[in-house]
Amino acid sequence: MAAFATPRPSGDPAPYRALVHPRGARYIEAIDQRALPHAVVMARIDNADTAALAIRKMWVRGAPLIGAVGAYGLALALDHDASDAALAKAHVALDATRPTAVNLRWALDRVCNAVRPLSEDERADAAWREADAICREDEGINHAIGTHGLALLREIASRKSGPLNVMTHCNAGALATCGWGTATAPLFLAHAEGLALHVWVSETRPRLQGANLTAWEMQRRGVPHTLFADVASSLLMRRGDVDVVLVGTDRVAANGDVCNKIGTYGKALAARDNDVPFYVALPSPTLDASLASGAGIPIETRSPEEVIAITGRDDWGQTTTVAIAPEGTRAVNYAFDLTPARLVSGLITERGVVAADRDAIGAMFPERFAVAERA
């Protein structure tokens, strides 16, 4: 596949990193995103159980970052015991942390395929190298998505006067990846080159990734933005206040169906009803060519507590969780939803923008479909 060489990485200049592997260290450090936006807390992850906990409890979250931490989790497990049995056990434990983001399974399989043929002595070092490579490539992929997305934003901006109003959902930012973010990469590059931009940041109930994380990133990078309640999405589009919607994804099926944070489908419907283009930033590890459509994507359900209670900082600077519903209220908490391909204007990948349909995606990523067909 020489024609599709991995893009040259271009480092994210951000003054923060979601994940760091200090040179030569046998541990990683990650921002504990539960403490954001009010505190930047670095958590040290120095064993596989802690890596699994960090993913399950969402210290770290976002499809690409979950994959990267999963990969390091395997390396940490192999540092402890590099036998076939231990490798298989660690793979199962890490894979079971969260079901929807396909990057986790992709990264775990990649590390396993790289180390399984090796002798036990060589496995741990090889796993650390593979995890580092996954991170480096992720940053390069996101920068390439940024470049292709920037061309799209320039084109839309050229057809209007005033700042370009981009709506996003959840956090598909540098905090969800190893650099640049996916949906945010075009925004950060556009802002850096001086394109007049304004970002609508959807709060993203129930865990508030938009309010807590995306607003924090926009503030840290000086990108003009406005936070709004999720339920206001359709009104903002109907008023003509939104020029384009740009979101991330946790899994895209072979036919272009998109799974992303709960609330994305509603935004896609409102976008279609108001002729607002709806784009999805898709790094290729998030493509699941083994699934013919989105119907097969497992949708995570999380604790009802996340819906019934809300966490924030009080006037004394204390982070507090308070109940917002009467004692004993029954609640349901779907973490993701599915946007059918027919509502997607295009997928912004590291190889360019592609239509959300099987033939187009297959033509752009033939090797992913070949692997799926062999499996």
Q: Which residue is nearest to ligand MRU (CB)?
A: 248
* 14, 82, 101, 166: which one binds ligand MRU (CB under 6 A): 101
Minimum distance of ligand MRU from residue 205's CB (angstroms): 12
Counting contacts by CB under 6 A, is residue 138 touching ligand MRU? no
**Cβ nearer to ligand MRU, comparing 74 with 179:** 179
Burial 47-66 (b: 16+ CB within 10 A, else e): bbebbbebbeebbbbbbbbb
Q: Which residues contact 35 (CB under 8 A, 6 or more apart)?
A: 41, 319
**Closest approach of Cβ 34 to ligand MRU, in Å?**
11
Taking the complex as a whole, how short is the minimal distance between the CB of residue 55 and ligand MRU, in angstroms?
9
Q: Is 138 a catalytic residue?
A: no
Q: Decide whether 68 or 153 has the Cβ nearer to ligand MRU.
A: 68
Question: Which of 90, 276, 335, 347 lies at the binding interface for ligand MRU (CB under 6 A)?
Answer: 335
* Residue among 182, 202, 212, 284 that touches ligand MRU (CB under 6 A): 182
Closest approach, Cβ 303 to ligand MRU, in A, equals 13
Q: Which is nearer to ligand MRU, 123 or 202 (CB)?
A: 202
User: Considering only residues 208-267, where is the footprint of ligand MRU by CB under 6 A?
Assistant: 209, 248-250, 260-261
Q: State which residue, 103 or 165, has the beta carbon closest to ligand MRU.
A: 103
Question: Could you tell me which stretch among 20-28, 46-54, 61-69, 77-85 binds ligand MRU (CB under 6 A)?
Answer: 61-69
Interface with ligand MRU includes 64 (CB under 6 A)?
A: yes
61 binds ligand MRU (CB under 6 A): yes
Q: Which of 79, 138, 250, 288 is catalytic?
A: 250
Q: What's the full length of the chain, in residues?
A: 375
What is the 3-class SS of the chain, one letter each residue? CHHHCCCCCCCCCCCCCCEECCCCCCCEEEECCCCCCCCCCEEEECCHHHHHHHHHCCCCCCHHHHHHHHHHHHHHHHHHCCCHHHHHHHHHHHHCCCCCCHHHHHHHHHHHHHHCCCCHHHHHHHHHHHHHHHHHHHHHHHHHHHHHHHHHHHHHHCCCCCCEEEEECCCCCHHHCCCCCCCHHHHHHHHHCCCCEEEEEECCCCCCHHHHHHHHHHHHHCCCEEEECHHHHHHHHHCCCCCEEEECCCEEECCCCEEEECCHHHHHHHHHHCCCCEEEECCHHHEECCCCCHHHCCCCECCCHHHHEEEEECCCCCEEEEECCCCCCCCCCECEEEECHHHCCEEEECCEEECCCHHHHHHHCHHHHHHHHHC
> What residues from 304 to 333 belong to the interface with ligand MRU (CB under 6 A)?
none
CB of 69 to ligand MRU, least distance (A): 11
Nearer to ligand MRU, 10 or 333 (CB): 333
Size of the site for ligand MRU (CB under 6 A): 17
By the 10 Å C-beta count (0-12 exposed, 13-18 middle, 19+ buried), 189 is classed as: buried
Q: Which is nearer to ligand MRU, 170 or 354 (CB)?
A: 170
Span from 60-68, 224-232, 321-329, 346-354 in contact with ligand MRU (CB under 6 A) = 60-68
Q: How far is the CB of 323 from ligand MRU (least distance, A)?
A: 22
- Interface with ligand MRU includes 36 (CB under 6 A)? no
Question: Least distance to ligand MRU from the beta carbon of 341, Å?
Answer: 17
Question: Parallel, antiparallel, or unpaired for β 319-323 and 309-313?
Answer: antiparallel
Query: In the window 151-170, what residues touch ligand MRU (CB under 6 A)?
Result: 170
Active site residues: 250
Residues of this chain that bind ligand MRU (CB under 6 A): 61-64, 101, 170, 172, 176-177, 182, 209, 248-250, 260-261, 335
